[in-house]
Structure 1
Amino acid sequence: MADNQPWAPFVVDPGSSGAESSPTGLLAFLKELDSLQDLLDREKAVVFRDFGVSADEINAVIDLLLPRRLAYVHGNSPRSKVGQNLYTSTEYPPEYTISMHNEMSYAHQWPARLMFFCERAPETGGATPVVDGVRWLESLDAELRAAFAGGVRYTQNLHGGRGLGKSWQDTFETTERGDVEAFLAETGARWEWRPDGGLRVSQVRPSTTRHPRTGAEVWFNQADQWHAAGLGDETAAALYQILPEDELPQAVTFADGSPIPADYVLQIRDRGLAAAVDVDWRTGDLMVIDNVLVGHGRRPFTGPRRILVAMSD
């Protein structure tokens, strides 16, 4: 059970840490830190603020925060790769909210940590909301939690170079079908190559998981993001006019293939956002989150916001 105390990310700045207000000061602080893992287990998310880190200096910081950076293989969000396993944040239009989610919770493996770096703060808005996964789970109606107890089935329809959504080449960062098949063979997923050169992938995953060290049970799936109802009535209706539901770039059902009611999807989306705490960005900020204990999203913004993301096991 979550306690009744308000939760927010833990903030480390020069004043609270006694570190020099510079990238060198942040690096020295991180090198002297007894255990970043213990800090994340306890605080769930940590913001590093007012150290003046620039894009030229970020790699040295990432090496300490995420010593084993992962590639975004099998990721479903549109991103651009800008460095060594360093990516732009999800490239959706700025006027839209991105609902709460744990990165790659639909996959057989997911990153344990995420790091966000604010290379350029937006003019207005653009916060990254973060939500305690225990509180999100407990905010949902008992009826909904029971309905999801058997897990969910995710389906991806990845085109071969032209079409809606992402291509399989971008998704798996390869142009070799054999590499894709070798990857999927280890995941328990089912897949089929389509006559048009595309790829369909289907996999059943649990709706919740337990943190490997704290034992906390958290809401841990992306049903609301993969379901057309999560996009709003007008967008969903427009998509259904183009393609049947099972041919959309991504779709989700209960594990047995039965449909997930739209009101469940909206409850998951809305209560996650309602329970979230906004992290408002300043240029040079960093945030590290435990990707199991904490979900994240994005608020609408104006101006040329640029947040970079890296992941690790």
Structure 2
Amino acid sequence: MPHAIDQYWVPQQKEYQKELQITRGASEPVIRFPLVVQPHEPAKSKADVLKEIGRIAAQPSDKDEQSQLRKLLDANGGVVHFKGLPLKTPEDFSDFLVALAGQGQHAWIPHTDIGMEVLRRPRAKHVLTTNEGPPSHFIGWHNEYAVSPVHPGYLILFCEVPPEKGGHTSVVSSLALFDRLKGEVPGFVEGCASKGLVYQIPHTATQVGGIVGGNGLYKASAFGPTDGSAPPDTEEEKRKGVERRIIELAERGGWHADIDKKDTTIPVWQRRGFDWTWQENGDLEVVHRVPGVRMHPTQKKPSIFNAMSTRYTNAKVNNTWEPPFTFKKEDGTEGIAIPPHFSGMDKDEVIPKEWLDRMDFHQHDLTSDIEWNVGDVLVIDNYAAQHARWAWEGERKILASFWDQPGMAGQPMATA
């Protein structure tokens, strides 16, 4: 570890760490992933920890984005697990986040959601609840909001109450995942880059708790007004406002109304853009088409960037690989589990199951399952690592925060 960090933060070895080569090769380094650190002696106070985390965060004197924390992330697979912290409450975590964000022109800034279907309830400044999907629900590996052209650069998790049983947070290197899949199924990574991925995103008309989504369509973080005003009175005007924001979101990914769909040097996902369908009950489904490979902004390596794992798992369990992708639930009603698709010009294409099987194999093989204790903080570089949530029993309170760094974004991998 860099000397200035090692003065206070000491690396630890934990059973859940994975010995990992990001890129396979005889001369490539082996790291313990994720990096686990804690103060070299028990932290005397929260103020001490805030001071020390601030020392490795962005500084006003930094000439570029490479703060000590940024270098630490790059050298260790993009994930750092801070342990032994005297943090107990959401407010403690909030104070830690402000220090972690740093100062100066390269300081992190809070991420602003657009088109978000997941309900996240505020607990403190910059602090939100994690996905409210039921404890029995496995949330598969994903880069945070990879379904959208607008996604955070960093995800920071905090343990307020550790799970009684299960409930580990899994992390997998997106860079290593690209390396493995490029060598085994090059057609898969080429399709992710040139064709792009398709996601059907359901939005409830109003907020619904206790489900995987449920944010409510007309919130500012979804597709509602952003100026603090209420949605228009008429259904027609409300829907027009939502549709304008969907188009604006698609434009953030490079699509626009006058794009030349015959220009094959432009990726299919970009030529196709977004679609949407209103439901009779006022709910909305938005179809996103986005790239599935992005270049890491500081390491300049390609990274798998997707949210296909849960979709793959659902299709596998319910055997819904063929249209119309429906299955019978235990109660006799009909369900739908749409498998991962590539974008296509005439119609979108189901990704070969054999390719998805290899992705799933390597996600299981590369995983490190984080064990939580009160006060732990997990910092994840969203362009370097995917994360997942295993099922649990009892109480579990893991809080989340999302941040960006000015000038840093994972651009789609060039395909032409």
Name the TM-score, length of structure 2 as normaliser: 0.65
| Shift in Å, 1:245 | 5.9
Matched, 1:11 2:46: no
Q: Are residues 234 and 162 of structure 1, via their aligned partners in 2, closer, same or farther at CA, if it must alter by over 3 Å?
A: farther
8 Å CA contact 1:14, 1:21 repeated in 2:
no
Residue 253 of structure 1 corresponds to: 341
Distance between the aligned counterparts of 1:179 and 1:288, measured in 2? 36
8 Å CA contact 2:223, 2:242 repeated in 1:
no
| Shift in Å, 1:267 | 3.3
Counterpart of 1:151 (choices 192, 196, 200) is: 196
| Worse-matched range after superposition: 185-194 or 252-261 | 185-194
SS at structure 2 position matched to 1:169: coil
Distance between the aligned counterparts of 1:186 and 1:232, measured in 2? 36
Distance between the aligned counterparts of 1:231 and 1:71, measured in 2? 34
2:153 is aligned with what amino acid?
A
Residue 225 of structure 1 corresponds to: 310
Q: Are residues 266 and 191 of structure 1, via their aligned partners in 2, closer, same or farther at CA, if it must alter by over 3 Å?
A: same
Structure 2 gaps, min length 5: 1-22, 58-66, 102-107, 225-229, 232-237, 251-272, 321-325, 405-416
| Worse-matched range after superposition: 179-188 or 111-120 | 179-188
Instruction: Tell me the alpha carbon deviations over residues 67-124 of structure 1, each in whole angstroms, 9 at most, x when there is no partner.
Output: 4222444234454333334221222222343221100111112100111000011112
| Shift in Å, 1:49 | 0.8
Distance between the aligned counterparts of 1:195 and 1:294, measured in 2? 35
SS at structure 1 position matched to 2:350: coil
Aligned 1:12-31 pairs, distance under 5 A: 12-15=37-40, 20-31=43-54
Distance between the aligned counterparts of 2:113 and 2:128, measured in 1? 8
| Shift in Å, 1:294 | 0.8
Distance between the aligned counterparts of 1:11 and 1:220, measured in 2? 24
Number of corresponding residues: 307
Residue 95 of structure 1 corresponds to: 136
Distance between the aligned counterparts of 2:402 and 2:50, measured in 1? 19
8 Å CA contact 2:142, 2:308 repeated in 1:
no
8 Å CA contact 1:86, 1:308 repeated in 2:
yes
Residue 86 of structure 1 corresponds to: 127
Distance between the aligned counterparts of 1:138 and 1:238, measured in 2? 38
Residue 359 of structure 2 corresponds to: 268
| Shift in Å, 1:255 | 0.7
1:83 is aligned with what amino acid?
A
Residue 401 of structure 2 corresponds to: 310
Distance between the aligned counterparts of 2:94 and 2:145, measured in 1? 23
Aligned 1:272-283 pairs, distance under 5 A: 272-283=363-374
SS at structure 2 position matched to 1:168: coil
1:22 is aligned with what amino acid?
S
Distance between the aligned counterparts of 2:164 and 2:394, measured in 1? 5
> Following TM superposition, where does structure 1 have runs of at least 4 consecutive aligned residues deviating by more than 4 angstroms?
162-165, 243-246
SS at structure 1 position matched to 2:51: helix
| Worse-matched range after superposition: 302-311 or 24-33 | 24-33
Q: Are residues 259 and 234 of structure 1, via their aligned partners in 2, closer, same or farther at CA, if it must alter by over 3 Å?
A: closer
Residue 299 of structure 1 corresponds to: 390
| Worse-matched range after superposition: 282-291 or 77-86 | 77-86
Q: Would you tell me which structure has more helix in proportion to its own residues?
A: 1
Distance between the aligned counterparts of 1:216 and 1:21, measured in 2? 40
Instruction: Tell me the alpha carbon deviations over residues 175-208 of structure 1, each in whole angstroms, 9 at most, x when there is no partner.
Output: 6346534432222253445252232322221111
Matched, 1:207 2:230: no
Distance between the aligned counterparts of 2:118 and 2:354, measured in 1? 24
Instruction: Tell me the alpha carbon deviations over residues 240-262 of structure 1, each in whole angstroms, 9 at most, x when there is no partner.
Output: 9635667xxxx742110012234
2:80 is aligned with what amino acid?
V
The structure showing larger relative contact order (alpha-carbon pairs under 8 Å, at least 6 residues apart) is: 1
Distance between the aligned counterparts of 1:238 and 1:137, measured in 2? 35
Distance between the aligned counterparts of 2:241 and 2:96, measured in 1? 32
